[in-house]
Chains A and B, each alone.
Chain A
Amino acid sequence: MPYPASMEESKRKVEETRPKRLEKGLLSRIPAEEREALVNKFHPDYKKEQFRELRIGPSKGSRAPLEIADLLEGNSRIDPDRIDLDKVDFDVDVLVVGCGGAGGASALLAEENGANVLISSKLRLGDANTIGAQAGTQACDRPNDSPAIHYLDAMGGGHYVNVPELVEALVKDSPDVIKWLESLGVNWDKEPDNSYHELSGGGASRRRLHSCKDYTGLEEMRVIRDEIRQRNLHGKKVDWVEFEPAIELIMDDKGQVAGAILMDLETRRMTIVRAKAVVIAAGGMGRTHIQGFPTTNHYGATADGLVLAYRVGCPLVHMDTMQYHPTGAAFPPQILGFLVTEKVRTLGAEIVNGDGEQFVHPLEARDTEASAEIRECKERGKGVNTPTGEVGLWLDSPMIDILRGQGTVARELPAMVRQFGRFNIDMAKEPVLVYPTLHYQNGGIVIKADASTPVPGLFAAGECEGGVHGRNRLIGNSTLDLFVFGRRAGRAAAQWAKEVKLGKLTLDHVRKWQREIKEAGLEEMPVSPMLLPNYANQDRPVPGFQPLGQVSPYTPFGDRAIRWI
């Protein structure tokens, strides 16, 4: 029996109400007016005291979560007066910062377009948020679908503040992204009639979620990574350095981005890259643990891309909105915050409270769904408490096999089954406990449709850029975004590199930044980019010894009863 006795009773109620719920069908969706009120009251984005206005930099005056504001206003990790930019280690056309899907796609397209490419990767190639994506990638390629319908869904999900040109690019490139990935060897799920197996997702009015079982991101990422390796083996001009993140961008005396300083995380050695164009594809921010939330994100999701771009004068958009995924695992404590893919709900499971009662349609947009869950627990007190002090709601996964036939869970959700199975929970037979978890950065670096930023020579793609999804991204539009804008960034950066004439390299922008910090009285801010969280137990450190990462008040295993004791 995997669930403790204290949770068993509630679990039984879920089983008892299941036949009736199945008969009755899902609750209807929340009307638009009520939706706004619900989100306003319960969504973490609306907790005013958790945000502040940026005091310096190109987006001065706009709001950001406290954790992100601290990083954006942080001091540089380098002393510009002690760095000799004449000693260049790599001289390339395009430097790509980060190698998730967006960085990988940029590198491939830049190489194809004639550029000599270097990738800076903080962890191994592909250790990224992309590899954790499970549910799938949207593309409007069914006969009953169209770019216009996809566009309306994305705009609606984003509360209509998305940048129209970016959404247009997103939806119009989408069928080709699927085709391109297949030509590289991605194995999409197919129907017996050879059409793509496509599910619908929260906020989408058509079935357009393309999947590779529930390892979609893994399949996409390993194919992209393999293609990069193969091209390198063939002597093509694409190379990479691992465990060497970018810690500061370099500019030239004409105000163009001209490369970056990298740091080897293990040896702390510095590498100077001169590049005619830089693509930032450094992903999201989950490991900043905004408002103390656990996260689905990989270890390197520390908002570095935002910091690098901000320091060279690139504005950010919609930084006051983050996505909390409605179904992070709330039990067992070892996997607190891990993603339970939305596909579980698209396949038919609904979320019910501790009494086994329905309280929300399972496929509302994510902000709405998460808000309804928070209300159910915090206001109505209908959540289920775990022995370690977490609270959660039941995701009734056994409904899937009942609705779609025995074996569906095993076939469609092997990763999920394995995850819970490791802790002796059989999700085909038992519901799983969930609660919102920090998942995705909706906003980010300002870009145009060709993925160029307002700063010459700087491009951005993937989760680190903003505007595509407005204030709320729909499922499957992010793994789409990263290939759409990753490919565009690669092309545009290669083109820019052909035309640009670099001037003399300089770090004057860092000096200027440090003056601004001083004038604003912010010298006490931590250094950034953050690079990695530091979850190491800080009990009895050697006094005066500087740890590499910033000490995180968050501990990784989430069990409050045993948090560093």
Chain B
Amino acid sequence: MAKVAEKEKVQMVDIFIMDKHYQVPEGLTIQAALEYCGYNLIRSVGCRSGFCGACATIYCFKNDPQLRYALACQKAVEPDMYLTQIPFFPTAEALYNVEDLEPKEGENKLVELYPIILTCFGCNNCTKSCPQDLEVMEFMSAAIRGDYEKVYEKSFDCLMCGLCAARCPQGLQPYVMAMAGRRLRGAYLAPKSQHNLDRVKEIEEGRFDAEMEKLKQMPTDELREL
């Protein structure tokens, strides 16, 4: 590996973690910056790569009170960031059986499960707070309309980080509702794939057993030939 000619000088930036001042090297993610400051993280960390939503973070800047939202593992620190993490957000899930989720004609299952979503007044705070840039309000209104397909599409990339719920003035929990919506769609509205059902049946009937037995006994040399 070729050596880099000269080590670039590291710039330090000022950040404030829960109001306490630290200096950290430029370029660190918020998560790594916390570790750089000496925290051995237990909460607020999971996949470390933007897939689990454990590291939800709210921040603003010293001279700009506008709140902003990020995943700590995905966002580099910026000068004068004031930040805190939201490692857990309380939610209450409605009770359902996936077997009973199949929606009948003219029935809005999501409103039935979560009647409180009808109180959404379209303020769009949720959308503004989503670190995945999802159109949260859109899937809320889709749910109210009973448009399950849209709920699935618009909420699919949700990491269930909780930030939208933290900011909703009506106390709604969009991501909890959307979970039920996606399960409903996956289990009932998505078209069935017949080739899979056929294959499951063939395997149950033992169609491939003799062939598999033969392969399992076969010496490696012969397997390589196949």
A residues in contact (CB < 8 Å) with B: 123-124, 126-128, 131-132, 139-143, 146-148, 151-152, 155-156, 160, 164-165, 168, 172, 175-176, 178-179, 182-188, 190, 194-196, 212-213, 215, 217-219, 222-223, 226-227, 229-230, 233-234, 243, 265-266, 296, 298-300, 333-335, 338-339, 377-378, 381, 383, 385, 387-389, 391, 414-415, 418-419, 422-423, 532, 534-537, 539, 547-549, 555-557, 559, 561-562, 564-565
For the complex, what is the distance from the CA of A160 to the CA of B208, rounded to whole Å? Answer: 21
Please name 5 pairs of A and B residues whose Cβ atoms are closer than 8 Å in the assembled complex, sorted by A.
A188-B186, A391-B1, A391-B2, A418-B50, A419-B49
> Which B residues are CB-close (under 8 A) to A140?
199
Q: Mark B123-144, 1 if CB is under 8 A from A, else 0.
A: 0000000001100000000000
Question: Can you list the 5 inter-chain pairs with the closest CB atoms, starting with the nearest?
Answer: A185-B183, A127-B46, A187-B186, A557-B32, A194-B191
Q: Which residue of A lies closest to B4 (CB)?
A: A389
- B42 and A233: CB pair below 8 A? no
> Which B residues are CB-close (under 8 A) to A227?
98
Q: Which residue of A lies closest to B42 (CB)?
A: A265
Interface core residue of B31, B46, B52 (most chain A CB under 10 Å): B52
Q: Which residue of B lies closest to A333 (CB)?
A: B27
- B74 and A168: CB pair below 8 A? no
Interface core residue of B132, B152, B157 (most chain A CB under 10 Å): B157
Complex partner residue of A148 from B76, B156, B197, B215, CB under 8 angstroms = B215
For the complex, what is the distance from the CA of A278 to the CA of B38, rounded to whole Å? Answer: 36
Count contacts between A and B, CB distance < 8 Å.
241
> Which B residues are CB-close (under 8 A) to A188?
186, 190, 193
Complex partner residue of A126 from B3, B52, B190, CB under 8 angstroms = B52
Q: A183-B187, A230-B96 are in contact. Are A152 and B215 (CB under 8 A)?
A: yes
- A383 and B1: CB pair below 8 A? yes
> Which A residues are CB-close (under 8 A) to B35?
535-537, 555-556
For the complex, is B18 an interface residue (Cβ under 8 Å from A)? no
Q: Mark B8-52, 1 if CB is under 8 A from A, else 0.
A: 101000000000000001111101100111111111011111111
Shortest beta-carbon distance, B18 to chain A, in Å? 16
> Which B residues are CB-close (under 8 A) to A565?
10, 25
For the complex, what is the distance from the CA of A217 to the CA of B157, rounded to whole Å? Answer: 12
For the complex, what is the distance from the CA of A561 to the CA of B7, rounded to whole Å? Answer: 6
Q: For chain B, residues 72 to 117, give those with C-beta under 8 angstroms from any C-beta of chain A.
A: 74-76, 93, 95-98, 101
Q: A146-B208, A187-B190 are in contact. Are A160 and B46 (CB under 8 A)?
A: no
For the complex, what is the distance from the CA of A561 to the CA of B197, rounded to whole Å? Answer: 54
Complex partner residue of B156 from A182, A215, A555, CB under 8 angstroms = A215
- A182 and B187: CB pair below 8 A? yes
Q: A178-B196, A562-B25 are in contact. Are A172 and B40 (CB under 8 A)?
A: no
B residues in contact (CB < 8 Å) with A: 1-4, 7-8, 10, 25-29, 31-32, 35-43, 45-52, 54, 74-76, 93, 95-98, 101, 132-133, 152, 156-157, 159-160, 179, 182-187, 190-197, 199-200, 203, 208, 211-212, 215-216, 220, 223-224, 226
Shortest beta-carbon distance, A38 to chain B, in Å? 18
Shortest beta-carbon distance, A254 to chain B, in Å? 34
For the complex, what is the distance from the CA of A565 to the CA of B26, rounded to whole Å? Answer: 12
For the complex, what is the distance from the CA of A143 to the CA of B160, rounded to whole Å? Answer: 37
> Which B residues are CB-close (under 8 A) to A414?
157
- A184 and B216: CB pair below 8 A? no
For the complex, what is the distance from the CA of A227 to the CA of B75, rounded to whole Å? Answer: 32
- A184 and B95: CB pair below 8 A? no
Interface core residue of A141, A190, A219, A419 (most chain B CB under 10 Å): A141
Q: Which residue of A lies closest to B201 (CB)?
A: A175
Complex partner residue of B52 from A127, A151, A226, A548, CB under 8 angstroms = A127
Q: A160-B224, A333-B27 are in contact. Are A243 and B48 (CB under 8 A)?
A: no
> Which A residues are CB-close (under 8 A) to B192?
194
Shortest beta-carbon distance, B85 to chain A, in Å? 14
Shortest beta-carbon distance, A249 to chain B, in Å? 23
> Which A residues are CB-close (under 8 A) to B179?
222, 226
For the complex, what is the distance from the CA of A423 to the CA of B76, rounded to whole Å? Answer: 9
For the complex, what is the distance from the CA of A212 to the CA of B183, rounded to whole Å? Answer: 13
- B193 and A190: CB pair below 8 A? yes
Shortest beta-carbon distance, B52 to chain A, in Å? 5
Shortest beta-carbon distance, A354 to chain B, in Å? 10
> Which B residues are CB-close (under 8 A) to A243?
42-43
- B42 and A564: CB pair below 8 A? no
For the complex, what is the distance from the CA of A334 to the CA of B71, rounded to whole Å? Answer: 13
